[in-house]
Amino acid sequence: MTKKIQIAIDGPAGAGKSTIAKIAAEKLGYTYIDTGAMYRALTYKALQHQIDLSSEEAVTTLLKQTVIELQPSPNGQLVFLDGQNVSSEIRSNEVTSQVSTVAAHGTMREIMVERQYEMAEKGGVIMDGRDIGTAVLPNAELKVFMSATVEERARRRYEDNKQRGIDSSFEALKEEIALRDKMDSEREASPLVQAEDAIYLDTTELSIDEAANAILKLASERMA
Ligand code: CDP
Ligand code: CDP
């Protein structure tokens, strides 16, 4: 008899969290929730409305007036902001470069965490982000902290961009990733940190299949 569990995957940008969580969720028949997309959607709206991103009060008020919905689809998770599909818009360079400033606000995060907890309540869920094992799902049966060297993570993003026909500089990508890691790890409100009971998975030398299989093996142990 297998039980439906909660799986929390945290780690820095480009570690492979969403790719691997998506594959594992499909294999297990679980719901995949990309929490980064919610912070990105809020950042996108804040930029559109020219909100002061460094103002905790302004950003928190904005979130209270915002509906963010995540919907699974054959092409990955779709993101709706107040009913509008913003799945591509939230991946822009502008959003990527500003999202860590928005995500640093503690009172805004409290609301996000509450919403994310409700999404995961029924179990049978794989959620990825920065604070899932520490703040959103502290009782998750399986917690994984996924990482890889910053060079490898930048290389992956470079390849992603190339595939999408976007010209980018490897050095600039490496800098952007390192800065985001620093901001996410050093903020006061639920920083990016490995939960005490999380398993560390270094994906630098792993293929996507190898990393997904490692997660599936751990999950089957916890489901038994
Ligand atoms: O996919 P990528 O690694 O580029 O980032 P993401 O998962 O889309 O997250 C974007 C940003 O949202 C992160 O750099 C964090 O600043 C923030 N975030 C967060 O603070 N907490 C989460 N649970 C998820 C994302
Ligand atoms: O979600 P996160 O930011 O942690 O990373 P991702 O968006 O899932 O992965 C970034 C890129 O690295 C994707 O193009 C993946 O296909 C690739 N990847 C890889 O080459 N090898 C792995 N073991 C994991 C991911």
pLDDT, tens digit, for every residue of 164-218?
888 889 999 999 999 999 999 999 999 999 999 999 999 999 999 999 999 999 9
Ligand 2 probe mutation, 17, 19, 152, most atoms within 8 A of CB:
19
Query: What are the pocket residues of ligand 2 if the criterion is a CB atom closer than 6 Å to any ligand atom?
Result: 11, 13-19, 156, 160, 203, 206-208, 211
pLDDT at 1 over 70: no
**What percentage of the chain has pLDDT greater than the value 70?**
100
Tokens of residue 192, six digits: 């990016």
Is there a binding annotation on residue 140?
A: no
pLDDT, tens digit, for every residue of 20-75?
999 999 999 999 999 999 999 999 999 999 999 999 999 999 999 999 999 988 87
Distance 92 CA to ligand 1 centre (A): 13
Which alpha helices (DSSP H) does 35-122 contain, by range?
A: 36-48, 56-64, 93-102, 106-120
* pTM of the predicted structure, to 2 decimals: 0.96
Q: What is the DSSP letter of 90?
A: G
Q: Name 34's bridge partners.
A: 128
Residue 123 — pLDDT band, cuts 50, 70, 90? confident
Which residue minimizes the CA distance to atom 19 of ligand 1?
130
